[in-house]
Amino acid sequence: MNPEEVHVLEKKLLVPTYQRPSPVFTHGEGVFLFDSEGNEYLDFAGGIAVLALGHSDPEWISAITDQANNLTHISNLFHTTPHVELAQRLVDHSFADRVFFSNSGTEANEAAFKFARKWGRTKGGPEKTDMIAFVNGFHGRTCGALSLTHKARYREPFQPLVPGVTFVPFNDQEAVRQALTSRTCAIVVEPIQGEGGVHPASKSFLQGLRSLCDENELLLILDEIQCGLGRTGTLWAHEAYGITPDIMTLAKPLAGGLPIGATLVTEEVSSVIEVGDHGCTFGAGPLVCRAAQVVFDRVSQPSFLNAVRSNSEYLLQALKSLPSQHILQIRSMGLLVGIEFDLPVKPLVQSALERGLIVISAGENVLRICPPLIINQDQLTQGVEILRECLPGLESQ
């Protein structure tokens, strides 16, 4: 099929939830992608912060090939080994005592939502089911996760959503304190708001949320779906804040591009959950869990995390050298970077693509860079130089 045929059939056959640029991608290798016309692209988006190990990592391919030759799916009704081995890794390297596996970020948050509600009802009675979430926060698109997501464009067509969620300004602890009621059971927050424009939480804010949760017997739920698993240069984004949550959700990079979600919880949270309370046909399948073991073992290596930290510093310095006429601010933690412009970035995303660089936006005015974590400094320079070439075009808009 040539690209035009793909475009025509997509338009005809798919529910129109996405607007895609014209290349049709056929394969990837490391930090590079290739389209059906033989063009090469440097990938500064990593499948939206998913491909920590890049495209077609040989060790990852070998693990899933081996697993597919043995057992891909059997459902959660039966025992298998890979999910236990993955859960062991996650528990050994985090605050958590137990894990629930699903297939996506939104599902990981959906499980967190249900577990927190059940915990609230069990500890505080049937009224203790409300949650606090944040302005510009993004937690997914299913009805529970969407109820925690702030953006009106995503929410309004589907109302009524799940009741009991109050949105409070991000990085404003006093506003959270004022929004608490006897019905509140949990606070849900991204340590770095990703989709909302790459806004890191301040240290005092996350620490303040931890204290508010402790003082008021609430659960702190950290959504590390975009910022966790090495993206910020530590295994968990919350390490930089010196706190731990009661629930943490993971997804994007965990299985290296295969669908997975994980909801990590303390024993205290898990103790209220019984057989039958939640479930998932595909979650914790042997194939994805073998893939995730490979990813986890690599991204949790101190040398891997050191490289993310030094490469992120290198990238930041390189970005600061860009002519700043339209750049309002560069925000970053590790290899999650947002460049805020004083005008929409869509034309910049398009001209970068035409020059062989894949970047994405986070909202209208923020260019988001979240490359595979294996990227090296030459490749970072290459991408920044392409951005530099694109910037004069922005002037002429």
Q: Which residues bind ligand PLP (CB under 6 A)?
A: 48, 104-106, 109, 138-140, 190, 194-195, 223, 225-226, 251
Q: Select from 395, 106, 52 the least CA-distant residue to 235.
A: 52
- Residue whose C-beta lies closest to ligand PLP: 105
Least distance to ligand PLP from the beta carbon of 246, Å?
Answer: 17
Residue closer to ligand PLP by CB (options 51, 251) is: 251
Residue closer to ligand PLP by CB (options 139, 326) is: 139
Least distance to ligand PLP from the beta carbon of 196, Å?
Answer: 9
Using alpha carbons, list the distances in angstroms from residue 210 to 234, 242, 302, 306, 344.
19, 10, 27, 27, 36
Residue closer to ligand PLP by CB (options 82, 253) is: 253
Task: Provide the terminal-to-terminal Cα distance of the chain, rounded to the nearest Å.
Answer: 35
Joined together, the tokens standing for residue 67 give 């697993």
Least distance to ligand PLP from the beta carbon of 66, Å?
Answer: 26
Residue closer to ligand PLP by CB (options 299, 362) is: 362
CA 147, distance to chain mean position in Å, is 17
Least distance to ligand PLP from the beta carbon of 167, Å?
Answer: 15
DSSP string, 9-63: HHHHHS-S-----S--EEEEEBTEEEETTS-EEEESSHHHHT-TT-BS-HHHHHH
Burial of 128 (0-12, 13-18, 19+ CB in 10 A): buried
Residue closer to ligand PLP by CB (options 264, 307) is: 264
Least distance to ligand PLP from the beta carbon of 59, Å?
Answer: 23
